[in-house]
Structure 1
Amino acid sequence: MRCVAHILNLIVNDGLGLLNKCIQSIRNAVRYARSSPQRLGMFKKCVEKVKIESKGLVIMDVPTRWNSTFLMLQAALKFRKAFDRLIDDDGHYLGYFIGEKQEQLREGPPFDDDWGKAEVFANFLRPFYEVTLKVCCSNTPTIHTVFGDLVKIQGLLKETGSSLLSSISIPMQAKYDKYWGSLDKVNEYILAAMVLDPRHKLEKLEDYLELIHGDGDKKIEAAITSVKAFLYDLQNVYMNDASMSLQTSQPSVGGSVTTFVVEVMKTSSSMTQVERKLAEKEQQRRAKKAGSINNDVDRYLLDSIEGDENSDFDILNWWRVNGVCKYPLLAYIARDILAIPVSTIASESCFSTSGRVIDPFRSSLSPKMVEALICTQNWLRSTHVALHHEPTIEEMEFCEEIEKGKCIVFWFYLLH
């Protein structure tokens, strides 16, 4: 599977180059404001004069990290009026960009056209930034949401409302099409994972495909059939796996129908005659479908979709609670598919526009020190640290001897 974060990085980089002059002028303005305490103090006075309320200030970016450039533009746009005021209040500001011979030494200062382009581009970059963070920095599975994110990005590239975004999106769209331009290029596990999300199943996949191809396209039916066939193939593989000791206790095929009947009975008193007839037809339809069900995939697809669309939905917990009793074989498939990572690089690397570089300090560290730093970093980043220590037999005996006052004798015994 291709790394989603890496491909997003390639797409964004193809658009950044077209706005290099605009971005560089804002970068130089921010660099001037942060270059000394005196200049920063003058900038703060300008912020107070134009009455900008903000807890933070402008930040510098790392030119080879497009996420830091995005954050720099976001912060600088809040202080646009302060930079304009700086032209009048700080006599050295314009001189920073123009030399003694009135020659342009640096790009800038940014004017209305530059700020306008930066605002449009920052809003355009936000979905790329959010998706990259999600696939790289999430502690939960993301493979089941990737296809939806890709469709949204494709729509963003196609629905550009200005000539500026149109010119930027052309090379970005070409890069997108290179990796995800057709369904044949999308990994089938991504589509299967979306179907295994109980909030989506085939219905939501079909909705996304209609956004791509339009209603009634034959490619949609072919794609749906292909995904179902892929799930059936996986089911056969897992079923024939001799190493899997799965005790398949198939639930009653009428289980979902029975549940539906109970729900209808509970609400029948408040139903109109038309609604009651519709409910009876739905009951008959489900019973007819349930009669031909003999596998987990069909049973799962027949059941109703979960209505919980909030971001806190725990798909692993859902499969842990519902999968074991209702779809035992499919639960194993979901466990393995949802564990597939869609990003194979760190967030620092996926935002980088250059190669990986080790600075002189890190390259001079001894192997032992590098190992110690990596180990310490792993401890600090861990969210779940085991604080409970299970004592060994020797330690328990040692504690008992301490209580009995025989610590010295026992310690001598351990040493020998």
Structure 2
Amino acid sequence: MEQMREAAAHWIMMHEHPFTILDEEGFNLMMRRGMPEWQKISRTTCRADCMKIYEIEKKRLKKSLECIDKISLTTDCWKSKTQKIEYMVVTGHWIDSCWNLQKRVLSFINIPPPRGGLQISDAIFKCMKEWGIENKVFTITVDNASSNDLAIRYMKDTIQRSRTLACEGNLFHIRCCAHILNLCVQDGLREIEDIISNIRESVEYVNRSEARRMQFTECVQQLQLKDKRLIRDCKTRWNSTFEMLSCALKFKEVFQMFKERDHFYGCCPQEEEWNKAQKICSLLEAFWTATHIISGSEYPTSNLFLQEVQKIKSSLDTYAQHEDLFLKQLASKMKEKFDKYWGDCNLLMAIAAVLDPTKKMLAVEFCFPKLYSEIDASKHISKVKEIINSLYEKYVAEETNKGAPHPSESESFGSSSVKRNQQSSVYSWDDFDDYCAKVETSETKRSELVDYLEKGRLKKNEIPKIFSCLEWWKMNRMQYPILSKMAADILAIPVSSVASEATFSAGTRVIDSYRSSLSPDTVQALLCGGDWLRKIHGLKKKTKVS
């Protein structure tokens, strides 16, 4: 029975079921059929079991984090549906000993108002201290709220009192790419709110009854269209709205024909409105593709983004010069917002691209002139080279310090020590060894970074169909023992702070009404524990459309 209680708690946590599910007669009837000795589990007992499992798994995860040198964090905000409670979820991202990219929810913290930069900073520090990772945090990815900017400034100042941050802290603060793309897209969609509303109402009107659907299908058949059905959208997910518009555009003639047959249909868009919808879809296509790259993998590595973001930037630049006034104004507005954050994002994306063996430095030299003026492009390319060299030197220094003898290993006083010192003096020559080390290194052995960058990149015909940048570094870690470690840490940095299933969401993440009624400690145990157990049992969380 003890094992069944544990299994029931795992089930509750993994699938986010309410404790009340254990009271259901049907569930208990099913359990007694398979196991006559089954005894009903009370909600209080199940909650206690869940809290116990949370504590056990927390200790186990904390132990495994002791072996990790660097960890990157992301934060994301959630709100309660029924209460005015705000939560901040902190997720850790790292590379394990088998070179797999790992992601775990570490804390689900209730932050009481006022929720300012100092409160956010304190909450993250508390989480870091609790997990023993305060000296291991490499980067933090957050959305673009001003309170987050302030929080990260507090954190950088505090951390730099006790240790040096990589690249003078230039890489510590990562702005969420998905949030930036969402902001730009929302600016665009806002310009045609009325048109979107008309198209959405048209789709819903047709789907409201079987008779209308049949009449619409007859119109489709008469016009001999390949596409058969309309797509409904979810208002808080902009990709869903984009897909609804793209699909509806294929049926614009059908809607007109349908209007002639149904006199109660009064929301059919005009030709000019269809044209505007077409224009905005052509502009948003690059955003849709890039965001699919972000959400297409549960763990997208940071080398995937530079080329996609460059395509968006180039698309916005082109449309901002368009002869069509509507498109020109729309693109200019979106470009202004994009440019505001682009400069803060490109550094990590550029470094990650350089550490992709299919791109290397050529990717940056190809990309930056398309994004900046000639002078700025040259300046930014030099900055990327400088940061990569600085980062590599830090990794070399860390590796050297690891290999240095511990003070306790120094020789003790005594006659044997004196004899050894006398013997070693025969071979000593002041500064000779240091001189030889410098000359021999510069003459015979290039640094791993120079060796990697000077070798040609992988060509198309050399790249397997399924290529993993992380896997390539794992395979080449013997050739590049230090650089491969640096590459793994960089590739593990999340470019987006939101979970992949929420990447397209324009709304706030919301905790359901059931979990809102629980205490913050219970909510944290269930949501963190559920995340850990899904990883243990190899389950992927199903997307819930909000």
TM > 0.5: yes
- Which of these residues, 234, 240, 262, is aligned with residue 68 of structure 1? 240
| Change in CA separation of 1:244 and 1:130 when aligned onto 2, cut-off 3 Å | farther
**Residue aligning to 1:325:** 478
| Change in CA separation of 1:175 and 1:60 when aligned onto 2, cut-off 3 Å | same
| Change in CA separation of 1:17 and 1:311 when aligned onto 2, cut-off 3 Å | farther
Retained in 1: the 8 A contact 2:204–2:232? Answer: yes
Compute the displacement of 1:339 (Å). 0.8
| Change in CA separation of 1:205 and 1:246 when aligned onto 2, cut-off 3 Å | farther
| Change in CA separation of 1:361 and 1:112 when aligned onto 2, cut-off 3 Å | farther
Which letter maps to 2:176? C
Retained in 1: the 8 A contact 2:368–2:381? Answer: no
**Residue aligning to 2:497:** 344
Which letter maps to 2:310? V
Compute the displacement of 1:349 (Å). 3.9
Which letter maps to 2:448? D
Compute the displacement of 1:155 (Å). 0.8
Which letter maps to 1:60? R
- Which of these residues, 386, 400, 403, is aligned with residue 229 of structure 1? 386
**Residue aligning to 1:392:** none
**Residue aligning to 2:202:** 29
| Change in CA separation of 1:47 and 1:212 when aligned onto 2, cut-off 3 Å | same
**Residue aligning to 1:393:** none
Matched, 1:44 2:217: yes
Retained in 2: the 8 A contact 1:134–1:142? Answer: no
Retained in 1: the 8 A contact 2:399–2:482? Answer: no
More helix by share: 1
**Residue aligning to 1:101:** none
Which letter maps to 2:478? C
Structure of greater Rg: 1
- Which of these residues, 294, 297, 301, is aligned with residue 138 of structure 1? 297
Matched, 1:125 2:284: yes
Between the aligned partners of 1:378 and 1:52, the Cα distance in structure 2 is 48
Matched, 1:157 2:319: no
Range with bigger deviation, 342-351 or 191-200: 342-351
Aligned length: 323
Range with bigger deviation, 363-372 or 312-321: 363-372
Between the aligned partners of 1:157 and 1:90, the Cα distance in structure 2 is 40
| Change in CA separation of 1:348 and 1:168 when aligned onto 2, cut-off 3 Å | farther
- Which of these residues, 182, 188, 195, is aligned with residue 9 of structure 1? 182
**Residue aligning to 1:396:** none
Compute the displacement of 1:384 (Å). 4.6
Compute the displacement of 1:152 (Å). 1.3
| Change in CA separation of 1:70 and 1:378 when aligned onto 2, cut-off 3 Å | farther
**Residue aligning to 1:178:** 340
Between the aligned partners of 2:519 and 2:232, the Cα distance in structure 1 is 32
Which 5+ residue runs of structure 1 have no aligned equivalent? Answer: 98-107, 248-289, 386-416
Retained in 2: the 8 A contact 1:238–1:244? Answer: no
Which letter maps to 1:65? R
Between the aligned partners of 1:377 and 1:295, the Cα distance in structure 2 is 41
SS in 2 for 1:191: helix
Between the aligned partners of 2:252 and 2:464, the Cα distance in structure 1 is 36
Which letter maps to 1:70? F
With structure 1 as the length reference, what TM-score do the two structures score? 0.69
| Change in CA separation of 1:374 and 1:220 when aligned onto 2, cut-off 3 Å | closer
With structure 2 as the length reference, what TM-score do the two structures score? 0.53
- Which of these residues, 356, 359, 363, is aligned with residue 197 of structure 1? 356
Retained in 2: the 8 A contact 1:246–1:329? Answer: no
Between the aligned partners of 1:120 and 1:359, the Cα distance in structure 2 is 37
SS in 2 for 1:186: helix
* Aligned-residue CA RMSD (Å): 3.1
Between the aligned partners of 2:209 and 2:395, the Cα distance in structure 1 is 65
Counting only pairs closer than 5 Å after superposition, residues 279-318 of structure 1 correspond to structure 2 as 294-308=446-460, 312-318=466-472
Identical-pair percentage: 34
- Which of these residues, 296, 304, 307, is aligned with residue 148 of structure 1? 307
Retained in 2: the 8 A contact 1:133–1:347? Answer: no
Between the aligned partners of 1:299 and 1:246, the Cα distance in structure 2 is 23
Compute the displacement of 1:370 (Å). 9.9
Compute the displacement of 1:52 (Å). 2.0
Retained in 1: the 8 A contact 2:306–2:349? Answer: yes
| Change in CA separation of 1:14 and 1:382 when aligned onto 2, cut-off 3 Å | farther
| Change in CA separation of 1:360 and 1:147 when aligned onto 2, cut-off 3 Å | same
| Change in CA separation of 1:187 and 1:115 when aligned onto 2, cut-off 3 Å | closer
Counting only pairs closer than 5 Å after superposition, residues 248-259 of structure 1 correspond to structure 2 as none
| Change in CA separation of 1:70 and 1:362 when aligned onto 2, cut-off 3 Å | farther
Retained in 2: the 8 A contact 1:144–1:197? Answer: yes
Per-residue CA shift, 1:365-416, capped at 9, x if unaligned?
899899779877887799956xxxxxxxxxxxxxxxxxxxxxxxxxxxxxxx
Matched, 1:110 2:269: yes
- Which of these residues, 464, 467, 487, is aligned with residue 334 of structure 1? 487
SS in 1 for 2:192: helix
Between the aligned partners of 1:22 and 1:63, the Cα distance in structure 2 is 14
Which 5+ residue runs of structure 2 have no aligned equivalent? Answer: 1-173, 405-441, 540-546
Which letter maps to 2:494? P
